[in-house]
């Protein structure tokens, strides 16, 4: 069965499979929704660049977000999607970027395929990964209460994970904690790239809000956030040392363990203000 043929009653990004469920009363066969994961090849100007293992929905967002967060283009108007082609082997996204931008790809050429839906995995050199992040220009500061409002809303905006239990989500909130956009994917990097692409298409100012992710805060996620100018990135799990170092240099507020009304701020805590009630304790 083709994983990309969607039954009308199936959640987008999922496929139905038969599974044997077992418990103390024995075994039974039931139909279960499973998250789709397929190879998605990214081609620029007729040349292959990377292969991501991704959920095959919102692929235009993925292509644009990846191109922006990996600094392959500077603005959305520099990318043209020529086609999204499906085959039994996977999906190929054919894109075109200005020749001057395409010329720099030779220094960051990927060894295909990439693994783990990762913007770093498959890179040909360390230099192509550890590029200097831009310093975030936004002076945004938010109250911690806004962060927790957005996190609470995110739990209700993950239909694919609710159906399958197998995906990550990335959301973007305004400074007041109103969740504006959410994207899901089996890969945490892909979820953030889809979000970045959707923000660019909607012309949402990355510097006027913050991002939240349902994963650890890895270097790659911190780099992607910094690259597009998001001033605060909050993750429900821990950060890594390299993510903290990058956040320090990029003026990115990096928050970990953001859940259940708590959080830990690892870089630039001045961007996350205590609410007035908390600060008076």
Q: How many CB atoms lie within 10 A of CB 156?
A: 10
- Burial class of residue 216, CB neighbours in 10 A (0-12, 13-18, 19+): middle
Instruction: Give catalytic status of residue 57 as yes or no.
Output: no
For residue 152 the two structure tokens come to 């609470």
Dist CA 201 CA 95 (whole Å): 16
Catalytic residue selected from 36, 57, 118, 263: 118
- Cα torsion at 55, 97, 48, 37 (round to 10°)? 0
Q: How many CB atoms lie within 10 A of CB 245?
A: 15
Going by DSSP bridges, is the β-strand pair 272-273/142-143 parallel, antiparallel, or unpaired? parallel
* Closest to 51 measured CA to CA, from 113, 108, 96, 93: 113
Q: Looking at the chain, how many residues does it have?
A: 281
Catalytic residue numbers, as ranges = 118
């Amino acid at each position: 069965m083709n994983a990309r043929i969607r039954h009308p009653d199936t959640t987008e990004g999922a496929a139905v499979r038969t599974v044997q469920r077992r418990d103390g009363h024995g075994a039974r066969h039931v139909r279960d929704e499973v998250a789709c994961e397929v190879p998605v090849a990214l081609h620029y100007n007729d040349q292959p660049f990377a292969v991501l293992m991704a959920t095959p929905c919102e692929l235009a967002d993925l292509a644009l977000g990846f191109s922006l967060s990996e600094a392959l283009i500077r603005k959305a108007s520099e990318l043209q999607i020529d086609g999204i082609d499906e085959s039994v082997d996977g999906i190929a996204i054919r894109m075109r970027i200005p020749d001057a931008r395409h010329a720099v790809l030779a220094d960051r050429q990927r060894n295909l395929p990439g693994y783990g839906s990762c913007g770093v995995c498959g890179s040909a050199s360390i230099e192509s990964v550890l590029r200097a992040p831009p310093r975030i220009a936004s002076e945004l500061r938010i109250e911690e209460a806004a962060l927790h409002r957005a996190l609470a809303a995110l739990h209700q905006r993950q239909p694919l994970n609710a159906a399958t239990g197998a995906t990550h989500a990335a959301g973007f909130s305004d400074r007041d904690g109103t969740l504006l956009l959410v994207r899901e994917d089996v890969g945490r990097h892909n979820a953030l790239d889809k979000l970045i692409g959707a923000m660019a298409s909607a012309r949402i100012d990355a510097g006027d809000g913050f991002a939240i992710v349902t994963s650890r805060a890895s270097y790659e996620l911190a780099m992607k956030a910094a690259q597009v100018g998001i001033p605060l990135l909050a993750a429900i799990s821990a950060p890594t040392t390299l993510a903290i170092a990058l956040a320090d240099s990029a003026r990115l507020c990096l928050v970990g363990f953001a859940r259940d009304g708590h959080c830990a701020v690892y870089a630039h805590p001045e961007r996350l203000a205590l609410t007035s009630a908390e600060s008076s304790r």
